[in-house]
Amino acid sequence: MSAVMITRKVRKWEKLPGKNTFCCDGRVMMARQKGVFYLTLFLIVGTCSLFFAFECPYLAVHLSPAIPVFAVFLFFFVIAMLLRTSFSDPGVLPRALPEEATFIEMEIEAANGNVPAGQRPPPRIRNVQINNQIVKLKYCYTCKIFRPPRASHCSICDNCVDRFDHHCPWVGNCVGKRNYRYFYLFTMTLSLLTIYIFTFNIVHVVMREYPVLVCFFTLWSVVGLTGFHTYLISLNQTTNEDIKGSWSGKNRVQNPYSHKNIIKNCCEVLCGPTYPSVLDRRGLTKEELSASASNSSNPTPQTMNTSSREEQPPASKGPPLASPDTDAETALAKDKTH
């Protein structure tokens, strides 16, 4: 009776929790719902195709060939930024491994002391001081970590994302630390492209009295969005913080991340370092499938995951891992909604 060990190499992205979809063997990472992203692509490519097909020949001949050439460059830049935003890792924080989760649980238990039976334990919050401002770090029950400042959990992708801005269905991905500048460049260049096409539509109409398709409403929404993000960048804020009113100024709370200088803020967001992905998507795990080669009646294949990171132990010792139900703050929040 001999056991045959077959080692099949599996990439780490196949084992990642969360609701992302991966393509090209882990090189591409997107949210699950991609319908609106395809619509975005279709709208951009469709409008530009119409422009190139119907207007550029006339404009190239009667005005200048530089007009369509510049439009082509702008179009490729927009598509490149869109794909970069949609396909890259927004800054997902990997979930805590069991030992780290247990370590944090024990620290929380030590900090809370003895909670009398029947009483809910206090909310899991860690206070840190950043540039003389107290910032509360919340505990994420899904990822089992205290979220770093400015990180937030995206319920659509089921991941904690660093410097979380928002989840954008138009690009089919979250917008976070790693892809915010590509998102901003996408909206800015798309605004430029839309204004460019719109302008030359008008010129063409004036010159030839030719009926054209004008994306008027798209123009204003994209330009508006670009303006909004320019405002956020100048203040070094995220959409998430703006919506929640984290640094709105009440209770003398100020944004500790702002350099108090518009140019410095813009430079940090747009020209800052290119952060690496901490999700090792293309690393290898090892799955060993052992099948007994004997003539036993029920060969039960046992899958034993021995990856470079340790997997869930069968019975972890330590305090039972709490859930939002046992936490005072989230329980109060739940009561309010009912």
Nearer to another protein, 94 or 324 (CB): 94
Restricted to residues 254-313, the positions that interact with another protein (CB under 8 A) are: 256-257, 267-268, 270-276, 278-280, 304, 306, 308-310, 313
Dihedral Cα 73, 79, 81, 84, nearest 10 deg: -140
What count of residues does the chain have? Answer: 338
- H-state helical runs in the chain: 35-50, 56-62, 66-87, 98-112, 180-208, 216-235, 239-244, 262-271, 328-337
User: Which listed residue (56, 143, 157, 168) is catalytic?
Assistant: 168
What is the rounded distance in angstroms from the CA atom of residue 12 to the CA atom of residue 145?
Answer: 20
C-beta of 198 vs 242, nearer to another protein: 242
Query: Least CB distance from residue 38 to another protein, whole Å?
Result: 22
Q: Which two tokens stand for residue 249?
A: 């100024």
Q: Considering the complex, what minimum distance in angstroms separates the CB of residue 129 from another protein?
A: 6
Task: Check residue 179 for interaction with another protein (CB under 8 A).
Answer: no
According to DSSP, the residues that pair with 93 across neighbouring strands are 160
**How far apart are the C-alpha atoms of 229 and 270, rounded to whole Å?**
12
Longest dimension (CA), the chain: 87
Is 168 tagged catalytic?
Answer: yes
In the complex, minimum distance from the CB of residue 112 to another protein, in angstroms, rounded to a whole number: 16
Report, in Å, the least distance between residue 262 CB and another protein: 15
Binding mask 153-172 for another protein (x = CB under 8 A): ----------x---------
Query: Which tokens belong to 295?
Result: 């003539």
CA 331 from chain centre, in angstroms, equals 28
Torsion (CA) 268, 273, 276, 278 in degrees, nearest 10 = -40
Find, among 108, 11, 65, 105, the residue nearest to 307 by Cα: 11
- Whichever of 120 and 138 has its CB closer to another protein, that residue is 138
CB-CB neighbours of 319 under 10 Å: 10
10 Å Cβ neighbour count for 196?
17
- Least separation in angstroms between CB 160 and another protein: 9
Find the shortest distance in angstroms from Cβ 150 to another protein.
6
Residue type (1 letter), 198: F
Report the residue number, 86 or 201, with the smaller CB distance to another protein. 86
Partners of 8 in the β-ladder: 287
122 binds another protein (CB under 8 A): no
Report if residue 135 touches another protein, rule: CB under 8 A: yes
Interacting positions 60-119 with another protein (CB under 8 A): 76-77, 80-81, 84, 93-94, 96-100, 102-104, 106
Residue 82 in tokens: 């869109």
Total residues at interface with another protein (CB under 8 A): 53
Task: Identify which of residues 93 and 222 has a Cβ nearer to another protein in the complex.
Answer: 93
The residues assigned a catalytic role are 168
By CB under 8 A, name the binding residues for another protein: 76-77, 80-81, 84, 93-94, 96-100, 102-104, 106, 128-131, 135, 137, 145, 148-150, 163, 182, 185, 256-257, 267-268, 270-276, 278-280, 304, 306, 308-310, 313, 315-318
